[in-house]
Amino acid sequence: MLSECADATSSHLQNGIDTENQKTKTNYTWLPPNLPSKCTWKPGKPISDSPHSHVPLPEETNILPNILKKVGRTPLVRINKIGKAYGLKCELLAKCEYFNAGGSVKDRIALRMVEDAERAGIIKPGDTLIEPTSGNTGIGLALVAAVKGYRCIIVLPEKMSMEKVDILRALGSEIVRTPASNFDSPESNVSVAQRLRYEIPNSHILDQYRNPGNPMAHYDTTAEEILEQCEGKVHMVVGGAGTGGTITGIGRKLKEKCPECKIVGVDPEGSIVALPSELNTAEDATMEVEGIGHDFIPTVLDRSVVDLWCKSNDADSFLMARRLIREEGLLCGGSSGSAMSIAVKAARTLTEGQRCVVILPDSVRNYMSKFLNDRWMGKNGFLKNVQEHKPWWWNVKVQKLNLSAPLLLVPEVNCQKAIEILKEKGYAQAPVVAESGYLFYWLAPLSGMGVAHAQHLLGSATYIMWPIKETLHKLAKRRTGQIQHPLTSMRVGPGS
């Protein structure tokens, strides 16, 4: 059971949304995303005492009426190789949230917040939805807005990937970029979104940081799915904390249904979310992993349900995400690597027959130009002294490789014979190498264009009976008026 999770200091605040008629507003009021929660949730309270509506798990059908019905019911997948590599005795499972319609766990809260507001009569199609986000909530809202007929404005920090920007634009959203700054800065995405809210008629901020629909979505669906998929037997859940809605909703439900289950929260270095506060020492650390970590405590985050907080770092996160892709075939994002890099350590306390569920929030789709890219990884220092991105033969000497002997042509063979040899051996081209070992030319007569070009320059097809050396001399002379030997300075063989 969840009680009121949003701040309730304003009488016009309903379901976490500022509902005062903005046409009457004359003064801009800053609404912090870290106001103390008014939530009265406690384990054991009957669900009948909850002030919220509760949504049952959706039934699966063969044909969906629209794509929004593909939010939820994500697969739980066994991790086979990575758990063994770390010597884990427990069963390691991944909750693959990127199977949601918009590609991330945030699709759940986007749909829930919109439908809660619709049921309350706060919003209607044609209104404008504004949201400050690191990207995934924005994509989820843009998807819902496209299907339901809302205008959508997403306020996004500049550090977020261009893939997210392109997806948002494709979904018809308007995008406002803001500099990376403290949440209470006038230039932050939170502040800019709130100013837009006061300037644009019939606009609303659903506010993932304060809206109770955020943790409620995971309390009602994500946690229930985990319990159903694990048949009620789950001993540890590991997840990152962005807004904190995922870890709060799942944690509260599991505290009610599986009190022995340990909730492990993952917070990146540079963030202040973890407890005890002594963990948050790396204040100047850069946070390249997107979607988790903050410089404030979101209203919806209930840190009391987290049994253990662990700090993640960018390098371990990205390298683990790449391992999940390469070894397990899970096309997940960087924050998934954060969660798994902590899970393989935290789950060492579990024994055979126990289960650890790791939340994988989004897919690699959003980060093709970032951690999936070797150059980006190297530029940012994440692949320094690491060989995992290089092929197996990278440091093997050529003479140790079991390579077949190359096809070499001598300058004295005529062009017709050279072509016959190439056709017989199945080659389109071959090097012409003199007895001295110098590379005389690289012959590619089977390209078609090479033959036609030679005929055009020499004015005759009889060149095909000339030795390669003579043909090349004539070609070079026709081009420049003097004899040249292309590439005569390149040596082939030992010492090259």
Contact 219, 274 (CB under 8 A): no
Sign of torsion over alpha carbons 388, 98, 114, 172: positive
DSSP notation for 392-437: TTTTS-GGGS-PPPPP-B-TTSBHHHHHHHHHHHT-S-EEEE-TTS
Burial class (CB in 10 A: 0-12, 13-18, 19+), 89: middle
Label the pairing between strands 355-360 and 174-178.
Answer: unpaired
CA distance 348 to 357: 13
Q: Looking at beta carbons, which pairs linking 414-422 to residues 24 or more positions away fall under 8 Å?
A: 414/464, 414/465, 414/466, 414/467, 414/468, 415/445, 415/463, 415/464, 415/465, 415/466, 415/467, 415/468, 415/471, 416/464, 416/465, 418/443, 418/445, 418/468, 419/445, 419/446, 419/464, 422/446
* Nearest alpha carbon to residue 227 among 57, 5, 107: 57
Rounded to the nearest 5 degrees, what angle is found at the Cα of 332, between the Cα atoms of 331 and 335?
165
CA distance 99 to 92: 19
Name residue 137's amino acid: T
Strand partners, 236: 262, 356
- Compute the CA torsion angle 297, 303, 306, 311 (nearest 10 deg): 30
Residue with tokens 């550090």: 159
Main-chain phi, psi angles of 68, to 5 degrees? -65, -20
Task: For 5-45, give the secondary structure using H, E and C.
Answer: CCCCCCCCEECCEECCCHHHCCCCCCCCCCCCCCCCCCCCC
Q: Which two tokens stand for residue 64?
A: 């969906």
Helix, strand, or coil (residue 111): helix
Q: Give the DSSP H or E segment for 265.
A: strand 262-268
State the catalytic residues.
106
- What separation, in Å, do the N-terminal and C-terminal C-alpha atoms of the chain show? 73
Q: Which two tokens stand for residue 182?
A: 């403290």
Helix, strand, or coil (residue 355): strand
436: left (phi over 0), alpha (psi -120 to 50) or beta: alpha
DSSP state of 351: -
